[in-house]
Amino acid sequence: MSANLLAFFYLISGVLFILALRGLSSPETSRQGNFYGVVGMALAIGVTIISVGGLSYSFIYLIVVLLIGGSIGAFIAFKIPMTAMPELVAGFHSLVGLAAVFVAISAYLNPVVFNLGTPGDIKIASLIEMSLGAAIGAITFTGSIIAFLKLRGLMSGSPITFPGQHFLNLILGISLIGLITYLCINQLDSLFWTIILISFLVGVLIIIPIGGADMPVVISMLNSYSGWAAAGIGFTLENTALIITGALVGSSGAILSYIMCKGMNRSFFNVILGGWGATEEQSSSLSKEQKPVKNGNADDAAFLMKNASSVIIVPGYGMAVAQAQHALREMVDALKKNGVKVTYAIHPVAGRMPGHMNVLLAEANVPYDEVYELEEINNDFANCDVAYVIGANDVTNPVAKTDPQSPIYGMPILDVEKSKSVLFVKRSLSPGYAGIDNDLFYRDNTLMLFADAKKMTEDIIKNL
């Protein structure tokens, strides 16, 4: 196959990938979009195998490793519970990062096959591209592993900080640039390996100071990095499909990070510098003098909702932890039978990744046109009888609008407090991940339901 024809096919797969993302603009077109993505990928792999061709032995090995990887992937995809989506995505990002590192290493060791020159005499531009690709890939790899461990609960979600942390990161970042420059001058193997090792370290260091509630930003950011790593390798391999995809994924992740930061009214740098939540804990425990709280049970909650004409459900991470989405749907079905109008309100940063709550509700067969985003539904709280807050906390805290001293001041929140009564399902009065006490708990129109989200919801169903 001629190089031009090959490049043309790669361009087609690039276009198919664009269509795959385009399909996600609405749930109706999304499945077709995903199909375009699969076709694009099959095309890219197919033409690459044909173009390399000739080596029948290796071809068998190729199929074998493809099948091994493919079956592992398929197995995970079918087995994974929807609540574990954030850590799955983090885990997948780490694999893309490591794959980028491996391809860069391979290109460095054997540049001839990629037309990049000979070992020890690689083209300068290719060296820059491959070392950047390898560095970003390595950062993505270890960063995603830390994110995975935090999301999975294998590592504490609280930020890990130490003195001089940012200074150390700065030094490492500068030394990476220095090493890449030096590598271009004298092409020493040891420099290339050092770049990869330092990048692994940087990946760990930039993720450990970021707290659990900021995970949506981290995941989006790592998504973006994995794209830039792919683009870097794409330049090295002069492959259009990789360049297009890398740019798409890179900008996609960047936009998601931006949306998530905006949902928390924080700048990207503020999140990256991390350490949020660690300092607040003390002050909140001091201010926790016994304020009166109205404590309710499932019977009261069922009574309130049954007699309401409209109910808005506000799900949060607690719903995911308790796996309460199915029980919630049943409760809503029961309410609907009583003629209650029920809708769902989702805050942009509810859960641990963008769109996390939407997927869980979809899993529980909640029709997506009953689920609304913050801007769409926020005015409806004033006219609603009951707001049922299940596992959400900080995203409903009115302090964000009233107290300029609060760390979440300015964050867009769901105006839950405007509804006639608020039912707050929570295990305890403890503050949320931001470490801030929620004013809403002590309001007259708030009824606290202290229980596991799933158990409480099931109890309410019994009482309906």
Partner 1 sequence: MEIDPFIFRLSIFILSIFVGYYVVWSVTPSLHTPLMSVTNAISSVIIVGAIIAALSGESEKIFEISNLFGYAAIILAAVNIFGGFLVTQRMLAMYKKKKDKK
Instruction: Report the alpha-carbon distance of residue 65 to residue 63 in Å, rounded.
Output: 6
Asked if residue 21 binds partner 1 (CB under 8 A), the reply is yes
Indicate the helix (H) or strand (E) that contains 447: strand 446-450
Q: Given the structure tokens 């990887």, which residue do they identify?
A: 69
- Which of 1, 5, 24, 177 binds partner 1 (CB under 8 A)? It is 24
Asked if residue 116 binds partner 1 (CB under 8 A), the reply is no
Residues 6+ apart with CB under 8 A from 87: 147, 148, 151, 152
Residue type, 430: S
Q: Which candidate, 109, 183, 169, places its Cα nearest to that of 139? A: 169
Asked if residue 66 binds partner 1 (CB under 8 A), the reply is yes
CB of 443 to partner 1, least distance (A): 29
Which candidate in 214, 394, 415, 439 is catalytic?
A: 394
Instruction: Report the alpha-carbon distance of residue 3 to residue 270 in Å, rounded.
Output: 46
Instruction: Report the alpha-carbon distance of residue 107 to residue 232 in Å, rounded.
Output: 12
Asked if residue 20 binds partner 1 (CB under 8 A), the reply is yes
- Which of 247, 273, 278, 293 binds partner 1 (CB under 8 A)? It is 247
C-beta of 256 vs 449, nearer to partner 1:
256
CB of 380 to partner 1, least distance (A): 17
- Which of 8, 255, 383, 402 binds partner 1 (CB under 8 A)? It is 255
Question: Distance of CA 125 to CAs 128, 235, 255, Å?
Answer: 5, 9, 29
Joined together, the tokens standing for residue 384 give 């609603």
Of 274-282, 365-373, 402-410, 448-456, the window that binds partner 1 (rule: CB under 8 A) is: 365-373
- Which of 12, 155, 259, 278 binds partner 1 (CB under 8 A)? It is 259
| 252 CB neighbour count, 10 Å cutoff | 16
- Which of 280, 300, 330, 363 binds partner 1 (CB under 8 A)? It is 363
Chain mean position to CA 462: 35
Asked if residue 248 binds partner 1 (CB under 8 A), the reply is yes
- Which of 1, 5, 8, 69 binds partner 1 (CB under 8 A)? It is 69
Instruction: Answer yes or no: are the C-beta atoms of 340 and 306 closer than 8 Å.
Output: yes
Asked if residue 26 binds partner 1 (CB under 8 A), the reply is yes
CB of 439 to partner 1, least distance (A): 27
Instruction: Answer yes or no: are the C-beta atoms of 165 and 205 closer than 8 Å.
Output: yes
User: Would the CA dihedral through 334, 335, 339, 344 be positive or negative?
Assistant: negative
Asked if residue 110 binds partner 1 (CB under 8 A), the reply is yes
**If 0-12 CB within 10 Å is exposed, 13-18 middle and 19+ buried, where does residue 174 land?**
exposed
For partner 1, the binding residues in 183-242 under the rule CB under 8 A are 219-220, 223, 226-227, 230-231, 233-242
Asked if residue 120 binds partner 1 (CB under 8 A), the reply is no
C-beta of 171 vs 197, nearer to partner 1:
197
Of 67-75, 268-276, 310-318, 412-420, the window that binds partner 1 (rule: CB under 8 A) is: 67-75
Residue 51 sits at the vertex; the CA angle it makes with 20 and 6, to the nearest 5 degrees, is 50
Q: Given the structure tokens 């708990």, which residue do they identify?
A: 441
- Which of 348, 407, 412, 432 binds partner 1 (CB under 8 A)? It is 348
Fill in the per-residue mask, 390 to 409: x = in contact with partner 1 (CB under 8 A), - = not in contact.
--------------------
Residue 293 sits at the vertex; the CA angle it makes with 290 and 294, to the nearest 5 degrees, is 160
Asked if residue 178 binds partner 1 (CB under 8 A), the reply is no
CB of 421 to partner 1, least distance (A): 26
Q: Is 394 a catalytic residue?
A: yes
Instruction: Give catalytic residues, as residue numbers.
Output: 394
